[in-house]
Structure 1
């Protein structure tokens, strides 16, 4: 998994850390599922 992630992030211009790449991927997944980060936090904390 890390090999594929590293290949994808290294293909981008500039330096993108693995953590940044993973964070962006999670944000994209949440958005596709209809969530925003603030909605997720709000629902988590009630």
Structure 2
């Protein structure tokens, strides 16, 4: 039973560490000047 717990912990840690590596080089940004304006103008 301890081996299964250790395997789950190892898998979750490796998934947590792999996230930033897969997202490397990608930037997501929001322009606040446009974001705060009303979205629908009638």
Shorter-chain TM-score range: 0.3 to 0.5
TM-score norm. by structure 1 comes to 0.39
Q: Which has the higher helix share?
A: 1
TM-score norm. by structure 2 comes to 0.42
Structure number with the bigger relative contact order (C-alpha 8 A, sep ≥ 6) is 1
